[in-house]
Amino acid sequence: MRKSCFIVNFTTLLIIVFMLQSVGAQHNSKTIEIPVGSTFYDFIEGQGRKMAQATNVGGDGLHVVFDRQAPSSSFRSIAYDYYETSLGLFWGNQDISGGTDGFIANGLGDEAFIAFKNMGSIELMQDASEANFFFSNIFSLPNALTVGYAGYQNKAILSTTTLNNPLQDSLRISDNGFSTWISTSFPNPDPLTTSNGTIASAIINPANTEHFSFLLTPNKTATAPNGSLIKLTTINNAISWTVEEIHNDDNVYFNNTTYQVEDFSDVNGVYDSFGDYHIVTGAVRGFVDQNDPIFPILHWRTNRAEPEELTDPFYGRNPDSLVQQGLINFRPGNGLANAYPQIARAGDGYLFVAWQQWENNPDGSLRTLTGSAGEEVFATDIWGCIITPFGFPLPSFKIAGQEGFSDVFPRLPETLQIVSGAQDSLIVELLYLRDTDPGVSVLGQNNESLCDWIFVKQSVAIPITGVEQSEWPIGITDFNLSQNYPNPFNPSTTIS
């Protein structure tokens, strides 16, 4: 009886999963696409956010930060802008300081806080009020090498490494709306590590802000000689830490597959609204049977030992050897094949993931572009997928980008909104960069072309996944035993 119940319930579960994957995500025709600003060169380092929702007080809006550089100039600046939701427009970006690698968070009064690198120091600046465009310096940290920044409600965490010790992050933590800060650090988790890869930004658990994590990609550890992905977590505001190896580049997963995650440190993470942890990575390059290269976007979640691939097999596991080699040789910027995933949470346990994905020609071959410098790169668009509260990813779909262009570096805010209705919709807001002269602008070569930062806002319908009791009878209506040979205890046994 127990076995029969299990079979029926498991079958029902498979039917539900099939319905989810069959329905997929349907697009609403309501899409906003706005150019925000231009820059000669930009390359995003680190896991931090370029956008932050401003929804605590007053009217709702969205803070945006990006790096800007003029043609034929080595000077780079931090540009800030504000999207007014009710009007559907930006107020007009302005440079707030010289610097690079700007990351943003929202304050209790919906004022923007921006952390960035500037002339060997780390700066943290605060706007006077929501969309005031009058920034003042909170503090500067000299001799800094990298910056990571995150904020949630009254919590803020600034992580930096120094020129003297690039393996140990110094932390500044505020628990009272950025007013006062405590200083601490977390150690290098393994003595064999000589590089922790990506610039780490804290991922704060909204259910308990003393609980936060960092993602590191050490080049080697005692258990991972070829690199790994590590989650460093505290549940007591950095008093103590636990180290969890999420992935080892030598691991062999289903279908004899390996993934190389550490090489490019292409990782991002978030806690969902239930407090469960999720990680997305670019596999950079994986292998099947140590031979055929694959390039999927991967998703890990709490209590799941193996990742799931979010990319359609055509794009993540394309069998054409010419496509495979093109994805390695003709990459736009520093992104190999499918790259730069970011993950955001929404209400009720939903999540959304965005990444850049290569374009194909009608015959299935890799679409490549040649810019004014004569360098060939493959074309890319911005794709995404919804992950349901069940933990099932829905089929991926193109959400932004123009065919025949190099559209790169998608960035999401940490939180997205769900609008209730006859069919609920997820409001996706993202920022991405269009390389107007492929392989030239984004690589910083000597050319007067500019890249364009583009903002997209799109409503994506969430499939209705409920299953009525009357539609799916799961009670047991019949029962019988069939012959099973041999009976290991008594081979002569028969069942009649």
Asked whether residue 230 carries a pLDDT value surpassing 70, the answer given is yes
Q: How far is CA 375 from CA 369, 433, 443, in A?
A: 8, 19, 10
Structure-model confidence comparison of residues 219 and 63, the more confident one? 63
Asked whether residue 483 carries a pLDDT value surpassing 60, the answer given is no
Two structure tokens written together for 391: 């933990």
Find out whether 190 and 173 touch, Cβ atoms under 8 Å. Answer: no
My answer on whether omega of the bond before 319 falls inside 30° of 0, hence cis, is no
Q: How far is CA 378 from CA 231, 430, 433, in A?
A: 33, 22, 15
Asked whether residue 474 carries a pLDDT value surpassing 50, the answer given is no
Q: Phi/psi class of residue 408: alpha, beta or left (left: φ > 0; alpha: ψ in -120 to 50)?
A: beta
Find out whether 342 and 413 touch, Cβ atoms under 8 Å. Answer: no
CA 183 and chain centroid, separation: 28
Average pLDDT over residues 233-244: 93
The confidence score (pLDDT) of residue 104 equals 92
DSSP tag of 256: G
Report the C-alpha gap between 438 and 159 in whole angstroms: 34
pLDDT tens digits, 264-312: 678 899 999 888 999 999 876 777 766 788 899 999 998 787 899 999 9
Highest mean pLDDT among 142-146, 172-176, 332-336: 172-176
The confidence score (pLDDT) of residue 482 equals 42
Report the C-alpha gap between 188 and 165 in whole angstroms: 10
What pLDDT band is residue 358 in, cutting at 50, 70 and 90?
very high
Find out whether 101 and 57 touch, Cβ atoms under 8 Å. Answer: no
What pLDDT band is residue 179 in, cutting at 50, 70 and 90?
confident
The confidence score (pLDDT) of residue 352 equals 97
pLDDT tens digits, 13-67: 333 334 444 444 444 446 889 999 888 766 666 667 889 999 887 678 999 999 8
Asked whether residue 192 carries a pLDDT value surpassing 80, the answer given is no
Q: Whole-model pTM?
A: 0.85
**What is the average pLDDT score of the chain?**
81
CA dihedral of 398, 403, 404, 407, whole degrees rounded to 10: -50
What pLDDT band is residue 255 in, cutting at 50, 70 and 90?
confident
Q: How far is CA 204 from CA 38, 211, 235, 238, 486, in A?
A: 31, 6, 10, 12, 57
The confidence score (pLDDT) of residue 1 equals 30
The confidence score (pLDDT) of residue 272 equals 92
